[in-house]
A and B are shown apart, each in its own frame.
Chain A
């Protein structure tokens, strides 16, 4: 089969349409049934004639004839996830194997571990459509801001969308975080390395969560600075559930701000997990979170470890008792 021809055909095809092509099977049978009358015809090489490629709504229809798609699969790219967005597929299909895809992958190889290149492209296939020069400029920008090589590697592999942002936007965003939380140069680098996703996150969302943490929860500026460097994930949570978690910890369980600050992991767990363990301890009369009194239960007990270990260490009972308790809620 003529590969270049099929690929060229294949690039022209729009995957958006989901019309299926139906061949007229009756006609085909008629042709097959007859013995060819002219033996000269059979001597002609017709292998360069390929069957008509019908339009398809997924990529698996084309993969067996497309070398570039096969190569992407060998890289461990999940095409089934990419094809959910037809506008991206249309762009990806028009790429050239040697010129575009190979160059980009060779570029990415320097910053991302080989095993992670597939998942990286799955998450952000449009990186293959960006110009290599732009990507180099964006990496150079990070170097100019004194991020060391390991940091850059971590940033790029943890946030596949970082390279899609122009240096101007990244600069603005880094400035925004630095100003908003009054961070020093080292601290902003620490934040960007620790949680690169927050830099490219929706800034409106970050603003509303800052409001929740400052005004509604009542942490002061220094505590907020500590929190964003310790748990940047808090700024990426749904503000409603974040407030609900804090409300339960502070107003129902009567846990002080300072304790929450020390164990800020507690805010990352879903409310029902904390709630059911706390209610169980309360039922047993063991909900005592003050380290200065006897029978102290650390707040980490509410989210760490499995239920079995929690019951053994802090509930002093069997896990079945805990399960029976859960069926009374």
Chain B
């Protein structure tokens, strides 16, 4: 790990992406706020530069005047405020996670904000674990909503879930071609499609590339979803639709992002590790991943990069 000498050097090295683990019920803005204030706290605790001196010329002007070198009080952190404040940091997210979602969140700090923009326009896939429960439907499609309907789920089996889920995945293939921005009848589209999956051209509509049921223990089940452009509410409604297609009802009990592009859970920083040392270390790791995978930032073709 890099040895931190002083606050100024540490501040200069704080440019880049970090990968944090966002807990549920903490908004992304709050995560940003916590990280930036923690960074300020840690920077202000580091050894500071020596205080500036001030030259003062005193004495009567018609006689030889004295030149004095005095301490400059205006430079004292007790007078002009702490050296680093929240406003010194720019912070942006690569892709948003809703309030109730948890999981991998990429944040750009200072010059890293540029990287988050590029990463967002490259549209990497995100993998989610979506937990659901059969037998109850709520008005928000999430566990915190009001119960709207109850139904039996004894007839639901693993095979039935798999069938419905496979059908949902197939239905999204067509959206994928429509959102790729290519003409459906052209040779180019055929060539690209024969090689693999396509990225959407804009961020308007969610595209799902894969859904799989990874855990089934009625009434609870877990889906693993790979998608682009999705949002919290969309994943909730997906669980609701699944319930309806299984001839019962269902609601979502949790959404967890387990991967964003090449950034996985093992890289993400837990809330107790949101301190400067760990953040600097994490920044190095993220930088390595970006250098190893140029496609992550600047994709060359319309194919799905990760």
Contacts and interface: CB of A to CB of B under 8 A. Distances in A.
Interface of A: 1, 42-47, 58-61, 63-64, 69-70, 73, 76-80, 272, 307, 323, 326-329
Given A45-B60, A47-B60, A47-B61, A80 B78 contact: yes
B79 interface: yes
A329 B62 CA distance: 77
Contact of A64 (B72, B256, B265): B72
Given A47-B60, A327-B270, A76 B78 contact: yes
B113 interface: no
Closest A-B pairs by Cβ, 7 of them: A80-B81, A60-B74, A45-B60, A63-B73, A60-B80, A43-B62, A60-B79
A42 B73 contact: no
Contacts of A78: 78
A1 B66 CA distance: 12
Contact of A63 (B63, B74, B77): B74
Interface of B: 21, 23-24, 54, 58-63, 70, 72-74, 76-82, 102, 256, 265, 268, 270-272
A60 B272 CA distance: 36
Contact of B102 (A60, A61, A329): A329
8 contacts: A45-B61, A46-B61, A64-B73, A64-B74, A76-B78, A80-B78, A80-B82, A326-B270
B78 A327 contact: no
A274 B61 CA distance: 71
Contacts of A58: 80
Given A64-B72, A64-B73, A329-B102, A323 B79 contact: no
Contact of A70 (B21, B73, B271): B73
A213 to B, nearest CB: 24
B78 A59 contact: no
Given A73-B73, A79-B79, 6 more contacts: A60-B73, A63-B73, A80-B77, A80-B79, A327-B21, A327-B268
Given A327-B265, A329-B24, A80 B73 contact: no
Contacts of A76: 78
Nearest to A70: B73
B62 A44 contact: yes
A43 B63 CA distance: 8
Contacts of B80: 58, 60, 80
A2 to B, nearest CB: 11
B62 A79 contact: no
Nearest to A59: B79
Contacts of B272: 307
Contacts of A61: 74
Contacts of B102: 329
Contact of B78 (A1, A43, A45, A77): A77
Contacts of A47: 58-61
A13 to B, nearest CB: 16
Nearest to B129: A328
Nearest to B70: A64
B256 A328 contact: yes
A45 B65 CA distance: 11
A327 B24 CA distance: 11
Contacts of B74: 60-61, 63-64
A306 B21 CA distance: 20
A154 to B, nearest CB: 26
Nearest to B266: A327
A302 B62 CA distance: 76
Nearest to B264: A327
B188 to A, nearest CB: 42
A1 B270 contact: no
Contacts of A73: 73, 76, 78-79
A45 to B, nearest CB: 4
Nearest to A328: B256
Given A45-B60, A323-B270, A326-B270, A79 B78 contact: yes
B79 A42 contact: no
A61 B72 CA distance: 11
A64 B72 CA distance: 7
Contacts of A70: 73
A45 B63 CA distance: 8
B217 to A, nearest CB: 15
Contacts of B265: 327
Contacts of A69: 73
A190 B58 CA distance: 57
A266 to B, nearest CB: 19
Contacts of A45: 60-63
A73 B78 CA distance: 7
Contacts of A328: 256
A31 to B, nearest CB: 15
Nearest to B76: A73
A64 B54 CA distance: 9
A46 B60 CA distance: 7
A78 B82 CA distance: 10
A132 to B, nearest CB: 26
A60 B271 CA distance: 37
A14 to B, nearest CB: 19
- Which of A42, A73, A80 has most B Cβ within 10 Å? A80
A38 to B, nearest CB: 13
A329 B60 contact: no
A281 B58 CA distance: 71
B281 to A, nearest CB: 15
Nearest to B102: A329
A42 B72 contact: no
B79 A63 contact: yes
Nearest to A327: B265
B140 to A, nearest CB: 20
